[in-house]
Amino acid sequence: MVEKERLDMFCYQCSQTARGTGCTVRGVCGKKATVAHLQDNLVFATKGMSAYLYHARELGYTNTEIDAFLERVFYSTFTNVNFDAENFVQMAIEAGEMNVRTMKLLKRAHIETYGEPEPTEVQTGTFKGRGIIATGHGLKALGALLKQTEGTGINVYTHSELLPAHGYPGLKKYKHLVGNLGKAWFDQKKLFSKYPVAILGTSNCVLLPREEYRDRMFTTGPARLPGVQHIAGYDYTPVIEKAKSLPELDEKPGDVVLTTGFSKSVVLSLKDKIKQLVEAGKIRHFFLVGGCDSPLKKTEYYREFVKKLPQDTIILTLACGKFRINDLNLGDIEGVPRLIDVGQCNDAIVAIDIATALAEVFGIGVNELPLTMVLSWMEQKAVAILWSLLALGVKGIYLGPILPAWVNDDILKVLKERYDLRLIGNPEEDIKQILK
C-alpha cells in the first residue's frame, strides 16, 4: 500500500519495510516521487541560468554569488544530501531570484557592449550575393562574424533567437547584416537545406544536420554536432571561405517585414501616453504572449489567441514563441504599437522591468495591472524564467500547451493554490475569462 504524501512532506513513502526508509525516486506504485520531481525542476532551472551566465561571461561579466548558488543546487540534487521537498520549493524560489539577477547581468553585458536596442525593421527575404546564416543566442559570436565579414561582399542573415540582434546599434551598424531568414529553431533543417549559404550555430537549439548542408555548417562556443566542423574561439575564417565558395543568392524580397528592438527605455518613453490611453479606456488590457515554441499542433493556440484579441489590447512578445505572431499586422493605438517585440528569452527581464515601471506609474501592484501572461512552454530556460516570475509574486499566469515535465499532481496543486497558475484552454474562452 502506498500513501500519497503532501508536498511539504517527504515523498511517496513505501510501507514495505523491505524497501528501507522510503523511495526517493520511484515507489512500488511506479510513480516518480515529489522530491525527485523538484530535483528535476532545479536541474532544468540551473541549466537555463547557466546558458545566460555563459553568454555574460563571454563578454566579461560574472557574479560570484550566482556561481555559489549553482554549486549548492548541484550538490543538493546530484548527491544524497537533501530529501526535504519544502526546502526544494524554497530553493526553486531562490533560483527564480538568482535568475532575475542573471538576466539583469546579461542584459547589462549586451547593452554596455552593443548599445541599447532600438526599434528596427528587419527584412525577411534574400539579397543578391553570397551569404552566411547565424543561429542561436551568441551575440559575441555574431559580432565577431560581422566584423570579419565586413567588406567581403558576404551578407549575414540571422535565424531564430538572433533576430533581436538587429536592434542593437553596435551590431546593426554593419550594413551587411541584411535580414532574418526562417522562424523558430525547429525549422532549421528545411531552412538550411533551402539556401546554399554557410551556417554558423552559436549556441543551443542546433539540430542534427541533414547531409545536404552538413559540410557547410559550423559550430562555435558550446555547440557541437557530429560531422560538423567546430571553431574554437572567434576566428571564423573557415565559415567565410566556405561562404565564398558557394553560389550567390538571388534577390527575393520576403513577404513580411519584422520589427524588433523595443527596449525598456523605448517602451517607457511612452508611459505617459500609455497611462493616458488606459485612463481614457482606449487600452483595455496588456498581454505578454511568448515563451518557447515547438512543432506541436497545440502551439497554434497562441496565434489564434492573439488574432482574436480585441483592438484595444497591447501584446508584448519575446523568445522564439514570438514567431507564432510577429508577422501579424496589428496596427497601433494612437501611436503605441499593438505588437511589441522585446527580444529573446533572457529579455524576459525587459518585460518584467516594463511591468514594474507601469505599476509604479499607475500607483498599483504588478498583479493589479491590466496585464496577463500567456506563455508557451518547454524546459530549461523556461523553468528559470517561470520561477523568476513566481519569485517576484506574479500570479495568474496562463501556461501551455503542455505541463512542465517535472510537475506532478501535488506540485500542480501547490502552483495553483500559491500562484494561481492556470492552464490554457480554448482561445476564445480564455480571452473571455481574462477580460471579464
Per-residue pLDDT tens over the stretch 331-388: 999 999 999 999 999 999 999 999 999 999 999 999 999 999 999 987 778 999 999 9
Alpha-carbon distance of 426 to 428, in angstroms, equals: 6
What average pLDDT does this structure show over 271-293?
96
Per-residue cell: 350? 525587459
What 8-state DSSP symbol labels residue 247?
P
Instruction: Count the helix, strand and coil residues of the chain and give each as a percent rounded to the nearest 5.
Output: 45, 15, 35
Confidence check: pLDDT of 8 > 90 = no
Q: Where are the beta strands (DSSP E) in 244-325?
A: 257-260, 285-291, 313-318
Complete DSSP assignment for 313-367: EEEEEESGGGGGTTT----EETTEESEEEEESGGGHHHHHHHHHHHHHHHTS-GG
What is the pLDDT at residue 380? Answer: 75
Alpha-carbon distance of 224 to 228, in angstroms, equals: 7
- What percent of the chain lies above the pLDDT cut of 90? 83
What 8-state DSSP symbol labels residue 370?
S
What average pLDDT does this structure show over 189-215?
96
For the chain, give the number of residues.
436
Categorize the per-residue pLDDT at 2 as very low, low, confident or very high, splitting at 50, 70 and 90: very low
| Mean pLDDT, the chain, integer | 91
Confidence check: pLDDT of 1 > 60 = no
For residue 34, which phi and psi values (nearest 5 degrees)? -60, -40
Per-residue cell: 175? 550594413
Evaluate the CA torsion angle 403, 404, 409, 412 in order and state its sign.
Answer: negative
Alpha-carbon distance of 340 to 335, in angstroms, equals: 12
What is the pLDDT at residue 289? Answer: 98
Q: What is the pTM of this model?
A: 0.91
Categorize the per-residue pLDDT at 32 as very low, low, confident or very high, splitting at 50, 70 and 90: low
Per-residue cell: 328? 501579424
What is the pLDDT at residue 81? Answer: 81
Which of 319, 324, 234, 334 has its CA nearest to residue 281?
Answer: 334
Q: Residue 375 in contact with residue 398, Cβ under 8 Å?
A: yes
Per-residue cell: 381? 530556460
Which of 374, 364, 356 has its CA nearest to residue 421?
Answer: 374
Q: Residue 139 in contact with residue 200, Cβ under 8 Å?
A: no
What is the pLDDT at residue 77? Answer: 85
Alpha-carbon distance of 10 to 411, in angstroms, equals: 13
Question: Is residue 359 exposed (0-12), middle (13-18) or buried (19+ Cβ within 10 Å)?
Answer: middle
Q: What are the CA-CA distances from residue 195 to residues 150, 189, 250 (Å)?
A: 21, 11, 10
Amino acid letter for position 9: M
Q: Residue 11 in contact with residue 85, Cβ under 8 Å?
A: yes
Question: For 87, how many CA atoms within 13 A lie in the half-sphere containing its CB?
Answer: 11
Q: Where are the alpha helices (DSSP H) in 20-150?
A: 34-58, 64-78, 85-114, 139-149
pLDDT in tens, 150-176: 999 999 999 999 999 999 999 999 999
What is the pLDDT at residue 393? Answer: 95
What is the pLDDT at residue 182? Answer: 97
174: which residues sit within 8 A by CB, 6+ positions away?
146, 147, 150, 156
Containing H/E element for 189? helix 188-194
Lowest mean pLDDT among 2-16, 258-272, 385-399: 2-16
| Chain-centroid distance, C-alpha 12 | 33
What is the pLDDT at residue 12? Answer: 30
Per-residue cell: 105? 547581468
Confidence check: pLDDT of 114 > 60 = yes
What is the pLDDT at residue 21? Answer: 36
pLDDT in tens, 226-279: 999 999 999 999 999 999 999 999 999 999 999 999 999 999 999 999 999 999
Alpha-carbon distance of 356 to 85, in angstroms, equals: 31
Alpha-carbon distance of 103 to 216, in angstroms, equals: 33
Amino acid letter for position 95: A
What is the pLDDT at residue 336? Answer: 97
